[in-house]
Amino acid sequence: MSELDGMDRTIKKKVWTPKRIVSLVGGAAILFLIVYGLLTAGGGNTLRIDSSKLTISEAYLGEFLEFIPVTGSVMPLKTHYLDASQGGRVTRVFLEEGSIVEAGDSILELDNTDLHLDIMYREAQLFEQINNLRNTRLAMEQNSLNLRADLLEIDHQIANAQREYEQAVGLKEKDLISQNEFEQIEENHNYWTKKRELTLETQRQDSLLRAVQLEQLEASVDRMQANLAVVKQKLDDLIIKAPISGHLTSLDADIGESKARGERLGQIDVLDGFKVRAGVDEYYIARVAVGQTGEVKIAGDEYRLAIRKVYPEVRDGRFQVDLVFEGAEPESIRRGQSLQIKLALGDLSEALLVPRGGFYNSTGGHWIFVLSESGTMASRRDIRIGMYNPQVYEILEGLEPGEQVITSSYDNFENIEKLIFTDK
C-alpha cells in the first residue's frame, strides 16, 4: 500500500465529546427544574409535603372559658405584723421565731432613754402646774377672807354712821345741831353705804376672774395629766406583745440592736385558713375584679378559688390579687407553696374551638390551612379568631364544626396557597 493510500483513510468522529456531555447534563438539569416547578407551583403557590410532619386538628363545638394561667403563693388568711410603735434598743427577747403564741404574750422588750427623760420632764411640768393651781385656790380663799373682813368693817362703820345720822336728824328737827355738822354726819353715812356697794361689786368681779383662772388651770392640769398618761403608755409599748394567737413566723430582733419607730419586727400568722396571692399581667388589670374565680389542681384534685381582693398598684408590669378557696381547703396545703391557677376572665359559653398551635405566630389568627374532604390536600382560608385561653382559640368566622385544620407552625410555607400531601 502506498503512502498515498494511507493518507486517504477516513477518520471517525467521537460521539460523546466533552462538549456534548456538558450540554446534555445542562439540558437535563434545566428539564428537571422545569418539571419540579410544574409539580410544586401552579396558578397559586403549591407545595407537596408529607402530612405526618404536620399537626392536624379538628374544629369542634365545645364549652369555652377564657382564662389565663397565673402563679400564686399560699399565704395565711390573716397576718398581723409586729411594728415598733416606739423606737429603742432591744434589751430582752422572750420568744423565738417559729413559736406558737397566745394573745397578750410578751415577745420582746425595747428601752428608750429619751422617752424616760420626756416623761420626767412632763411630770415636772405637771407638778408645777398643780402647784400653781393650789396657790391660785389659796389666793382665792385668802382674798375671799379679806373681802369678808372688809365687809364686816364696812357694815360696822355703816351701823355707827346710821346711828349718828338718825340722832342728827332728831337734833336737826329741834334745831340743836348746826347745818355744817349735820351735813358731815350725812356725808359720812352716804360714804360707807356706797363703799359697801363698791366692795360687793369688786368682790363679784374678782370672784369671776378667779373662777376663770381656776378653770383654765384645772383644764391645763387635766391636759397635762392626759398627755402624761399617753407618754406613759408609750413605755408599755416598749414591750412588744402578741395582738392575736397564732404562729410567730418571723422575728427580726437581736439583743442590743436598735430599732427605729415604725420598723417591722416580725409577723404572726393566724392558722385558721389560707389564701393565695398571685401576680397578674397588667394587660388584664381592667378585666380582673373581686368575685372572679379560678381553678387549681393539688394532689390530683381540683379546687375552686375566688378573688377576694385586687391590689391596683402595678410593679414590674404586674399587679397582685388575693384568692380564697371556695369550700374545703386542701389538707396538704402549706404556707409558701406555689400553685398554678387558671384564672377565668369570663363566663362559660359554647363556641367553635380550635386547639392552639404554632400557626398563630405566622398568621396572626387571620387565616389557616383547611383540609379538603378527601384529606389529600389543604387550602388556605381566611378566619376570624375571638378570645382564647392557653388551650384553644375561639373561632368566630371561617370554619365549620368537624373541619380539619393544620395547627402546627407555618414558618416553612407561610406564603403557600395550597398543600398537597404526598403520603395520601
Which residue ranges make up each domain of the chain? 42-64+349-421, 114-235
Over residues 224-248, mean pLDDT: 84
Does residue 116 have a pLDDT over 70? yes
Q: What is the pLDDT of residue 216?
A: 81
The predicted-structure confidence for 310-345, as pLDDT tens digits, reads as follows 999 999 999 999 999 998 888 888 888 999 999 988
Q: What is the pLDDT of residue 204?
A: 85
Confidence of residue 3 (pLDDT cuts 50, 70, 90): very low
Confirm if 399 and 383 have CB atoms less than 8 A apart.
Answer: yes
Does residue 46 have a pLDDT over 80? yes
* Bigger pLDDT: 87 vs 25: 87
The predicted-structure confidence for 261-301, as pLDDT tens digits, reads as follows 889 999 998 878 889 999 999 988 998 999 999 999 888 88
Gap between the terminal Cα atoms of the chain:
74
Confidence of residue 71 (pLDDT cuts 50, 70, 90): very high
Does residue 382 have a pLDDT over 60? yes
Amino acid found at 374: S
Return the DSSP state at 256.
Answer: T
Q: What is the pLDDT of residue 23?
A: 64
Distance CA(138)–CA(156), nearest Å, equals 27
Distance CA(321)–CA(285), nearest Å, equals 10
Does residue 59 have a pLDDT over 90? yes
Could you give the percent of the chain with pLDDT greater than 90?
32
Top CATH class of 42-64+349-421 equals mainly beta
Q: Supply φ then ψ for residue 105, to 5 degrees.
A: -65, 135
Q: What is the pLDDT of residue 25?
A: 62
Confidence of residue 4 (pLDDT cuts 50, 70, 90): very low
- The pLDDT mean for the chain works out to 84
Confirm if 300 and 353 have CB atoms less than 8 A apart.
Answer: no
Over residues 27-48, mean pLDDT: 56
Q: Starting from the edge strand earliest in sequence, which strands make up the sheet with 239-241, in order?
A: 239-241, 106-111, 88-93, 258-259
Could you give the percent of the chain with pLDDT greater than 70?
90
Nearest to 162 by CA among 196, 199, 192: 192
Does residue 16 have a pLDDT over 80? no
Confirm if 240 and 107 have CB atoms less than 8 A apart.
Answer: yes
Q: What is the pLDDT of residue 17?
A: 64
Return the DSSP state at 317.
Answer: T
Q: Supply φ then ψ for residue 344, to 5 degrees.
A: -75, 140
The predicted-structure confidence for 159-194, as pLDDT tens digits, reads as follows 888 888 888 888 888 888 888 888 888 888 888 889
The predicted-structure confidence for 78-107, as pLDDT tens digits, reads as follows 888 999 888 899 999 999 988 999 999 999
In the three-class reduction of DSSP (H, G, I as helix; E, B as strand; rest coil), residue 321 is classed as strand
Question: How is 323-338 classified by DSSP, letter by letter?
Answer: EEESSSPPTT--TT-E
Query: What's the maximum distance between 2 C-alpha atoms anywhere in the chain?
Result: 223
Q: What is the pLDDT of residue 29?
A: 56
The rounded Cα 118 to chain-centroid distance in angstroms is: 36
* Bigger pLDDT: 168 vs 19: 168
Does residue 43 have a pLDDT over 50? no
Q: Supply φ then ψ for residue 42, to 5 degrees.
A: -140, -145
Q: Which residue has the cell 365687809?
A: 151
Which three cell numbers mark 337? Answer: 407553696
* pTM > 0.85: yes or no: no
